[in-house]
Amino acid sequence: MNIRVLTIFPTFFSSCLGEGLLGKAADKGLVNVAAVNLRDYATGRHRPVDDVPYGGGAGMVMKVDVWAKAIEAARRELPGARVVLLTPQGPKLDEQTALRLARETSLVFCCGRYEGVDERVAEHLVDEWLSIGDFVLTGGEPAALAAIDAIARKLPGVIGKAESVETDTFTAGLKHPAYTRPPEFRGWRVPEVLLGGNHAAIEDWRRRESLARTARLRPDLAAGAAASRVRLAVRDPEPWLLEPLAAAGRAYGLREVVCAVVDPDRRRALRETAGDLVKVTGPLDAALRKRPKERLFHLADRPGPGQAPLAEIAARLAAATDGATIVWGGEPPRKAVSAAPALPGEAASPLALFVWLERLFSGR
């Protein structure tokens, strides 16, 4: 991957990017990061990159013409590059964003300063905005460095073991506790299961500890971490719904999407168009009887008393170590926890289902 950083402080990046795994990745040719001095594209004796804001006010604003020259030069050097503006007003960087940007062949990061960049840069010259959190820095350089580190570790070969990336915190919930020698220190012992050599028991302990820690410390991530153990079951869906259901299943990492169809002819027709993730079965009750240990949830198609809010559903999913099935449509199965709909005004619509899934598994 080729990365260019447009900045007025190019030396900011040299020491950090030359050390550790990023330095080794650069030596291997896996990632090539170069910081470009924005002042090289300014004119005049002092090569100014900022000016007073129209309408008055405190601070200075970075000039659109300078940015235009720098960004266009970067696009010529790296055809097809995605240009990212670091700004606290952008969407927050998370693991999914890092994975998405790691699929690009080239990236250009734009580091603002002062009171920010001329709005025309943000509107017309970049492809997206990106923030690393709800706080303000003195400039975009630290944010760019954090983004580069998060993205680069997703590239094949940068991290020695792919398993380290696959089990990262946020990729599979919060990471489980880790210990090393000595086995006891000041009376604080390493859990016995880690010392016994039973790898199946160790993996089970780590999975359960990861889920428990996620539910306790970051309940907003709990449901997303549990998604790989969740089936979505939909009763008698219309044929056009199969593709959106499959897309939702892939997006959230669900274990399976089950379409329960009573009529045999409709069932055969749907099986011909269903993809790998979507499983077309007979009546739902029969499918549920095969999984007696799984927890059951039902997304109500109308608001009503006793329905669990989203936060409670997320916590229960995180605790469902033997798996769970979320049912949409029709009456709730026996022993199912009823979940309040996301859009009470049109709770029975497919839109309500997809909004609810997004809020549940994305923590939004």
- Strand 188-189 relative to strand 184-185, pairing: antiparallel
d(CA 294, CA 226) in angstroms, rounded, equals 13
What element of type H or E holds 230? strand 230-235
Q: Which of 10, 88, 237, 341 is catalytic?
A: 88
Degrees to nearest 5, angle at CA 285 with 279 and 289: 90
DSSP secondary structure, 192-216, as one string? GGGGS--HHHHHHHHHHHHHHHHHH
What is the distance between the alpha carbons of residues 176 and 205, in angstroms, rounded to a whole number? Answer: 9
- Which residue spans within 39-176 are E strands per DSSP? 50-51, 61-62, 82-86, 106-111, 128-130
Q: Which of 111, 91, 114 is nearest to 101 (CA)?
A: 91
Backbone φ/ψ region at 80: left (φ over 0), alpha (ψ -120 to 50), beta: left
Rounded CA-CA distance 295/324 in Å is 5
Among the options 50, 118, 141, 168, which is catalytic? 168
Q: How far is residue 281's CA from residue 287's CA, in Å, rounded to a whole number? A: 7
Omega of the bond leading into 182 within 30 degrees of 0 (cis): yes
**Whether residue 88 lies in the annotated active site:** yes
- State the DSSP string of 267-309: HHHHHHH--SSEEEES-HHHHHHT-TTSEEEEE-SS--TTPBP
Helix, strand, coil in percent for the chain, rounding step 5: 45, 20, 40
Nearest CA-CA partner of 74 in 164, 7, 143, 168: 7
Residue 168 appears among annotated catalytic residues: yes
Catalytic residue among 115, 149, 312, 358: 115
Which secondary-structure segment (H or E) carries 327? Answer: strand 324-328
The catalytically annotated residue of 153, 213, 231, 295 is 153
Catalytic residues: 88, 115, 153, 168
